[in-house]
Structure 1
């Protein structure tokens, strides 16, 4: 019998291998992980296929909304909370609780973010995370007397990437990154999915995502889908077909409190990956909306709840 999804099975094998043979480590969250260094997975994107895990339900619209938020350059959770996306709230909430000592739950904190402009500006800001680096990498210019001033508009790496793909497709420099060493300390969370590289061959666009760190139980599902979605968007904007996603990671880990997730998910049989349809071609890559994305044929096993380590 033909395996309907050998690619997802390789992910499950990695999940098992990390849990059973990973090096146990204490991490900044205090939860602890089991970790392996340097795995790589590959996903074929031809025919509209998209690596959306089927062994548990993944909230793909949340991942897509996050990607659009990155591309907007926004660094405040308010725009996400308006869309009922909560995946970034835990970090500023934890910072608020540490600073004020106030016992406050996530719903109350988010309600304040939405209702109070000053509160949102002070406590909803994440610092110069992903999107800021992607579309507004800071540039400093001489201002005289040995001083430098920050240019009003930084480097738009995404626009530069598109121009490079269109005008010099054989280049080996189709790269953007969020790892700005000078600004890491100002970020709520330094970039995990940090460097993207693209390759054009035979009319197809493939992409490689390198992550310094990946939570295989929770984060991977979003990371793989989002990276594939971005390949599809870039390919459409450049009149190319999608080729392959290559996912590579430094520290691939499973949190010690995710044992139930590993056991339940690896016991399930993968089903065929769904397909992703982009219903229109907007003028630029920055003009896509969530309504432009339709996932068809998605038949996952039920969601598996697991805590996020902050």
Structure 2
């Protein structure tokens, strides 16, 4: 089924757009089998728009979102790292399920997540073998592989392309360009990734001294993933705007397959019973030398008073 066109942005609270989409997908989405075997209900092609003026961020309030976890993940992407070890060191567990599943399938050992992560932290060789996710997001963002002729129809690895560094320079020096974008969808390397990129392409637009960003997400888990994806994309716009001496404009979120897992019914019904409250803002406490030098302590969210967290399983 096809999603409705752009949701109205005149609601009294920015989160009503998301809640309306959650309701429409659950009540009218096409019920489908999916890769995970869990099953989903899905709509195709919805779009939401969020103002980022004055530090605004689309941080959900109808459930508590661990925004620092999302921020740590975004900062990890920008390092180009593809091993979960740095995340686990920060008590970020959102990428552990994929290598853990691979380890269990390969060895037959039904190790717990905690035990697996403890070995990742304690054993360098184990972390190198089992903690790597393949060339996921950050690798493509800051080190997209290139190849150059090496003679006799052979090729050798060339210097990688740092899409983020090139984006910053382009925004600064050619702000009306229609090529202000980066992507993680490297077709040649998809089969080596633990998970092909869901939030796959980001495009930017400068007008009237403001920077806006559009996130194209081929696949979006509305129950769990959206909250992180929307916040981290808005955070990135704020960072880029600061680095390029611009003000934040808006975040446009566009989804391809926007879905809810069938085992998330309790989450949907609980969230839809809650009323959004407050307008949290993201504060950048420092301007680092470059887009790659931000630390988690450089960010603060104020005026965030969400409803309680809602637990739900991740489909791997």
TM-score scaled by length of structure 2? 0.96
Which residue matches 1:25? 32
Which of 264, 280, 302 does residue 286 from structure 2 map onto? 280
Which residue matches 2:6? none
* Deviation, structure 1 residue 6: 2.8
* Deviation, structure 1 residue 7: 1.9
The runs of 5 or more residues in structure 1 that have no matched partner are none
- Partners in 2 of 1:185 and 1:214 — Cα distance? 20
1:269 aligns with 2:262: no
Q: Is the 8 A contact 1:4 1:271 kept in 2?
A: no
Q: How many residues align?
A: 307
- Partners in 1 of 2:177 and 2:278 — Cα distance? 34
Which residue matches 1:130? 137
Q: Which 4+ runs in 1 deviate beyond 4 A?
A: none
Which of 176, 180, 194 does residue 188 from structure 1 map onto? 194
Which of 146, 151, 154 does residue 160 from structure 2 map onto? 154
Which residue matches 1:208? 214
1:80 aligns with 2:87: yes
The runs of 5 or more residues in structure 2 that have no matched partner are 1-9
Which residue matches 1:260? 266
What CA deviation, in whole Å up to 9, does each residue of 1:61-106 have, x standing for no partner?
A: 0000000000000000000000000000000000000000001000
Which residue matches 1:299? 305
1:168 aligns with 2:174: yes
What CA deviation, in whole Å up to 9, does each residue of 1:95-147 have, x standing for no partner?
A: 00000000100000000000000000000000000000000000000000110
Which residue matches 2:257? 251
What CA deviation, in whole Å up to 9, does each residue of 1:171-193 have, x standing for no partner?
A: 11101000000000000000000
- Partners in 2 of 1:105 and 1:80 — Cα distance? 17
What is the DSSP-based 3-state SS (H/G/I as helix, E as strand, rest coil) of the residue aligned with 1:286?
coil
What CA deviation, in whole Å up to 9, does each residue of 1:228-286 have, x standing for no partner?
A: 00000000000000000000010000000000000000110011220110000000000
> What's the RMSD between the two structures over aligned residues?
0.9
1:199 aligns with 2:205: yes
What CA deviation, in whole Å up to 9, does each residue of 1:200-236 have, x standing for no partner?
A: 0000000000000000000000000000000000000
Query: How do 1:15-164 and structure 2 match up within 5 A?
Result: 15-151=22-158, 153-164=159-170
